[in-house]
Amino acid sequence: MPLRRTKVSPFVTLRRGTNPLETDAPTCHVTAFSLTVLEAFAKTVEGCESYNGIAIQQDGFTLIELMIVASIIGILAVVAIPAYQGYAVRTKLAEVLLAASSCRTSVTEVIETAMDSLLPSDDWGCHSDPGLTQYVENIAIDNRGKISVTIRGITPALNGRIITLVPLKDDVNEFTNSDGGLQIYRWRCGATADGTTVNPNSLPGTCRG
C-alpha cells in the first residue's frame, strides 16, 4: 500500500511512520523545513507517541527515570560514605596500635625477665617522647605496665583521646607492681575501665577487649 503524505506546514513534508529528525532512518524523509516551523512542530507533539497518524520516536530520559537514578545514587551515598569513613578511622587507629606494639614488646620483656618482684615506674625501655608518629601524640606507661596512647591527627572527635593496653597475668587480673617475673597471659586492649576514651565501635577488631 503506498505511503500517505501528510503536510504539517508549507516547509515540512512527512510520510506516515516517519521521524522528522533522522534523515537517514528508513522511517524518515524530510524534503524541506525551516528551523522555526520544526521547533513549533516539536513543541506541539512533545510527549506524544503519534501526531495525526505520524509515528514519533522519543529519545532521552523521562523525569521519573532521572528521579529513580538520583534516588539510587542517594541511597548508595547514605550507606557507602559512613562505611568508608568508619573504615578510614579504624585503619588510622590500627596504625596507632602498631606504633604502640614496640612498647608492648618492651613491657613484656621487662615483666617476664624482672630479677626482683618490683616493676619499674618509668624505665621500660620504650621510646615515649611526644610526636612519635603521624597519629600518636604520646605513649605513657605506668608502674604496672599499662600502656596509654594519646591520639592526634585523625579527626577532631578523636584527637586527644586515649587507647589503653593492659597486660594480664590471667584471663581477668592485671599485674601489680610486685608481679615481676611472671608470664603475661594476654593483653587487654581498648577497655573503657582501663581508661580508653575512644568509642569501642571505632576501634579495630583486634582491640576490643
CATH number at residue 143: 3.30.700.10
Residue 129 confidence (pLDDT):
56
Domain end marker among 73, 104, 136:
73
- Asked whether residue 82 is assigned to any structural domain, the reply reads no
What's the DSSP call for residue 196? -
Shared domain for 111 and 149, answered yes or no, is yes
Region label for 78, one of left (φ > 0), alpha (ψ between -120 and 50) or beta (otherwise): alpha
For 203, the 3-state DSSP assignment is coil
Residue 164 confidence (pLDDT):
95
Shared domain for 109 and 185, answered yes or no, is yes
Shared domain for 108 and 22, answered yes or no, is no
Shared domain for 132 and 60, answered yes or no, is no
- Structurally, the chain folds into a number of domains equal to 2
- Asked whether residue 182 is assigned to any structural domain, the reply reads yes
* Residue 102 reports pLDDT greater than 50: yes
Going from the C-alpha of 137 to that of each of 147, 179, 208, the distances in angstroms are 13, 29, 21
Domain end marker among 15, 42, 73:
73
Shared domain for 97 and 23, answered yes or no, is no
Reported as a pLDDT band with limits 50, 70 and 90, residue 198 is: very high
What cell does 123 get? Answer: 624505665
Shared domain for 99 and 197, answered yes or no, is yes
- Asked whether residue 158 is assigned to any structural domain, the reply reads yes
Residue 114 confidence (pLDDT):
81
Pairing state of beta strands 13-15 and 147-151?
unpaired
What's the domain range around 7? 1-73
Kindly report, residue by residue over 145-174, the tens digit of the pLDDT. Answer: 899 999 999 999 999 999 999 999 998 899
Reported as a pLDDT band with limits 50, 70 and 90, residue 122 is: low
Q: Is the pTM of this model over 0.95?
A: no
Over residues 118-129, mean pLDDT: 69
> Burial level of 141, CB count in 10 A (0-12/13-18/19+)?
buried
Reported as a pLDDT band with limits 50, 70 and 90, residue 7 is: very low
Which has the higher per-residue pLDDT, 145 or 118? 145
Shared domain for 100 and 196, answered yes or no, is yes
Going from the C-alpha of 15 to that of each of 11, 22, 137, the distances in angstroms are 14, 13, 79
Shared domain for 132 and 68, answered yes or no, is no
Shared domain for 96 and 198, answered yes or no, is yes
Shared domain for 66 and 33, answered yes or no, is yes
Shared domain for 97 and 54, answered yes or no, is no
Residue 29 confidence (pLDDT):
45
The DSSP result for 60-86, as a single string, is: S--HHHHHHHHHHHHHHHHHHHHHHHH
Domain end marker among 10, 38, 73:
73
